[in-house]
Amino acid sequence: MLDIHQVLDDKDCWIPEIPALPEVSSNIYKNIVATLSTVQYQQKCISRFQRAIGVDTETNDDFGTVQDDIRWSKFYNFSAFLKKDFPLVHQHLQLERVNCHGLLYTWKPASERDQDTHFSKPFVLMAHQDTVPVSNKSLAEWKYDPFEGHVDKSGIIYGRGAHDDKNSLISIMEAVELLLKNHFQPKRTVVLAFGFDEEVSGKRGAFEISQVLEQRYGKHGIEFILDEGPGIIDPVAPGGKVAYATVATSEKGYLDVLIEAKGLGGHSSLAGKHTLIGIMAEMIVALETKDPLAPRVSRDSPVIEFLSCQNFSTRDVPLLLRRIRKGDIDAEYDLGLLLQNTSLAVLSRTSQAIDLISGGQKINALPERVSVGINYRIAPGLSLKDIKARITSILEPIAMKYNMTSFFFGSQESVSCSDSELCISQVGKALEPAKMSPQNTKAYSVVFGSVSSALNPIFTETLNVESLVVVPTLMAGNTDTRHFWNLTQNLFRFRPTRIDIRNNGGHTVNEHIYVDDHFASIQFYSSLILRASAM
- For the chain, give the mean pLDDT: 92
Strand 406-408, strand 369-378: pairing: unpaired
What class has domain 23-60+73-249+436-534? Answer: alpha beta
399 vs 369, 390, 404, 405, 454, CA distance in Å? 15, 15, 5, 7, 58
Q: CB burial class (10 A; 0-12, 13-18, 19+) of residue 80?
A: exposed
pLDDT of res. 18: 86
User: Would you say 141 is a known binding-site residue?
Assistant: no
6 pLDDT above the threshold of 50: no
371 pLDDT above the threshold of 60: yes
- Of 293, 292, 323, 329, nearest in space to 307 by CA: 323
How many contiguous H segments (helices) and E segments (strands) does the chain have?
Answer: 13, 18
pLDDT of res. 415: 56
In the chain the first and final C-alpha atoms are separated, in Å, by: 44
pLDDT of res. 129: 98
Q: What is the mean pLDDT of residues 418-431?
A: 90
Question: 413 pLDDT band (50/70/90 cuts)?
Answer: low
Contact 458, 517 (CB under 8 A): no
DSSP state letter for 22: P
Which of the two residues, 443 and 418, has the higher pLDDT score?
443
Question: 521 pLDDT band (50/70/90 cuts)?
Answer: very high
pLDDT of res. 107: 98
Choose, from 85, 174, 177, 198, the residue flagged as catalytic: 198
Q: How many whole angstroms separate alpha carbon 202 and alpha carbon 196?
A: 7
371 vs 254, 261, 286, 404, CA distance in Å? 20, 6, 16, 15
Q: How many whole angstroms separate alpha carbon 193 and alpha carbon 208?
A: 11
Question: 344 pLDDT band (50/70/90 cuts)?
Answer: confident
Q: What is the pLDDT of residues 112-148, one digit of tens each?
A: 555 555 568 999 999 999 999 999 999 999 999 999 9
Output the pTM of the full model: 0.92
Q: What is the mean pLDDT of residues 407-422?
A: 73
Structural domain spans, the chain? 23-60+73-249+436-534, 251-431
H-helix or E-strand spanning residue 24:
helix 23-36
Q: What is the mean pLDDT of residues 246-271?
A: 94
Q: What is the mean pLDDT of residues 442-449?
A: 95
- What are φ and ψ of residue 189, in 5° steps? -65, 135
Q: CB burial class (10 A; 0-12, 13-18, 19+) of residue 140?
A: exposed
Contact 530, 33 (CB under 8 A): no
User: Would you say 165 is a known binding-site residue?
Assistant: no
Question: 470 pLDDT band (50/70/90 cuts)?
Answer: very high
Which of 50-54, 176-180, 252-256, 306-310 comes out lowest in average pLDDT?
Answer: 306-310
H-helix or E-strand spanning residue 450:
helix 442-462
b/e string for 276-291 if b means 16 or more Cβ within 10 A? beebbbebeeebeeee
Q: In the chain, what percentage of residues exceed pLDDT 70?
A: 94
2 pLDDT above the threshold of 60: no
Per the DSSP assignment, residues forming a β-bridge with 260 are 371, 423
Annotation marks residue 23 as catalytic? no
Q: What is the mean pLDDT of residues 103-115?
A: 81
Q: How many whole angstroms separate alpha carbon 160 and alpha carbon 145?
A: 9
pLDDT of res. 342: 86
H-helix or E-strand spanning residue 81:
helix 75-85
User: Would you say 199 is a known binding-site residue?
Assistant: yes
H-helix or E-strand spanning residue 491:
strand 491-493
3-state secondary structure 128-149: ECCECCCCHHHHHHCCCCCCCC
Which of the two residues, 452 and 241, has the higher pLDDT score?
452
Q: What is the pLDDT of residues 268-280, one digit of tens each?
A: 998 889 999 999 9
Q: How many whole angstroms separate alpha carbon 32 and alpha carbon 179?
A: 8
Q: What is the pLDDT of residues 351-366, one digit of tens each?
A: 999 999 999 999 999 9
CB 273: neighbour CB atoms within 10 A?
5
9 pLDDT above the threshold of 60: no
H-helix or E-strand spanning residue 80:
helix 75-85
What letter represents residue 22's amino acid? P
pLDDT of res. 7: 38
Which residues are within 8 A (CB) of 243 and not within 5 positions of it... i.e. 6 or more apart?
Answer: 6, 232, 233, 234, 235, 459, 460, 463, 465, 467, 468, 469
pLDDT of res. 8: 39
Cis peptide before 165 (omega within 30 of 0): yes
Q: How many whole angstroms separate alpha carbon 158 and alpha carbon 160?
A: 7
343 pLDDT above the threshold of 80: yes
Contact 223, 121 (CB under 8 A): yes
Q: What is the mean pLDDT of residues 431-438?
A: 96
User: Would you say 128 is a known binding-site residue?
Assistant: yes
For every residue of 363-422, DSSP letters joined together read: TTB--SEEEEEEEEEEPTT--HHHHHHHHHHHHHHHHHHTT--EEETT--SS--STT-SE
Q: How many whole angstroms separate alpha carbon 174 and alpha carbon 25?
A: 17
pLDDT of res. 302: 96
374 vs 297, 300, 312, 423, CA distance in Å? 23, 25, 35, 14
Q: How many whole angstroms separate alpha carbon 148 and alpha carbon 139?
A: 13
Q: What is the pLDDT of residues 200-212, one digit of tens each?
A: 999 999 999 999 9
Annotation marks residue 260 as catalytic? no
Q: What would be the CATH architecture of the domain defined by 251-431?
A: 2-Layer Sandwich (3.30)
Which of 111-125, 213-227, 511-525 comes out lowest in average pLDDT?
Answer: 111-125
pLDDT of res. 112: 59
480 pLDDT above the threshold of 70: yes
Q: In the chain, what percentage of residues exceed pLDDT 90?
A: 84
What letter represents residue 275's amino acid? T
pLDDT of res. 309: 86
Radius of gyration in angstroms for the set of CA atoms belonging to the chain, rounded to a whole number: 25
